[in-house]
Amino acid sequence: MDYLPSKNFIKKILAISLVTLGWFYFFGEKNTSKQDLVEDSGGIIVFSRTGNNSSSNMDSVNSWGDLSKEKILENDSLASVTKGLNDNNILSGLERTAVNELNSFKGAKKSDYENYGKGLVAILKPYSTPGLPNEREITMEALSSGNATDLKNVAMMSQLHFVIAGELKKLKVPEEIKFKHLFLLNDIETLSYADQLMVNAFDDTKKGIDAINLYKSTTNRFINSIIDINKFFTEQNIDFSKNEKIKIYINGIQ
């Protein structure tokens, strides 16, 4: 049976989406993408990275080519995320799902993999909305200008990540892909956590800046997790139609 998101999930996503989209309708797509660079690495998730000008776009295209061959950060090492961050114990408040908490099962068939993919698409659907806030850029601008008004959008994105992570935790996951799924889930949990810290950047500027760096590193890991999941489907000779795929928007990394 195909995965169907819970009613509570749908209600939460609708509420967050309406508020977010309403804000950007009235105030413009500030801190969002100006051009999409689409990467289809096979599988079921097509991701779009964004750039701000022709020069940065070209750099992004080149980095995408390297990205599919060589991982920026190793997914199985959370310590790698903290490399280069200030030693202020920024991850002390982060709670991540453990592998034994997943809803995984053994003896999966090809149809189970396909259903997992469709369930994944259903849960990640909110990320397919163009013009989502770029939390990192919003926070950097807020700290630069001294105006915390737009940080409300960072708070909304934190809640969005949190709700999506909760649904990923409940999704039935074949044993063979559970670790790849876990990495994706943990990445989204970390994005939500980083956003929470950025919302409070004016209370602790040092931690806010470290949260910005954590967000950047975690976004790289998030991309790697998507690539790994897509690769799994390719290795299983599972080809999803264009209508079954989802294109999600990933904020550009400068």
H/E segment holding residue 89: none
- Delimit the domains of the chain by residue range: 7-250
DSSP, collapsed to helix, strand or coil, labels residue 49 as strand
Q: What is the pTM of this model?
A: 0.74
Between the alpha carbon of residue 71 and those of residues 44, 55, 60, the distances in Å are: 20, 23, 15
Between the alpha carbon of residue 101 and those of residues 122, 168, 198, 234, the distances in Å are: 21, 11, 28, 27
Alpha helices in 146-204 (DSSP H): 151-170, 178-199
Amino acid at the residue 46: V
DSSP-assigned beta bridge partners for residue 37: 49
| pLDDT tens by residue, the chain, 254 residues | 555 556 666 565 555 555 554 544 443 444 444 444 445 556 777 766 554 433 332 222 222 223 333 333 334 344 444 444 544 478 889 999 999 999 999 999 999 999 999 999 999 999 988 888 899 999 999 999 999 999 999 999 999 999 999 999 999 999 999 999 999 999 999 999 999 999 999 999 999 999 999 999 999 999 899 999 999 999 999 988 888 888 888 764 33
Sign, CA dihedral 179-181-184-189, equals negative
DSSP-assigned beta bridge partners for residue 104: 173
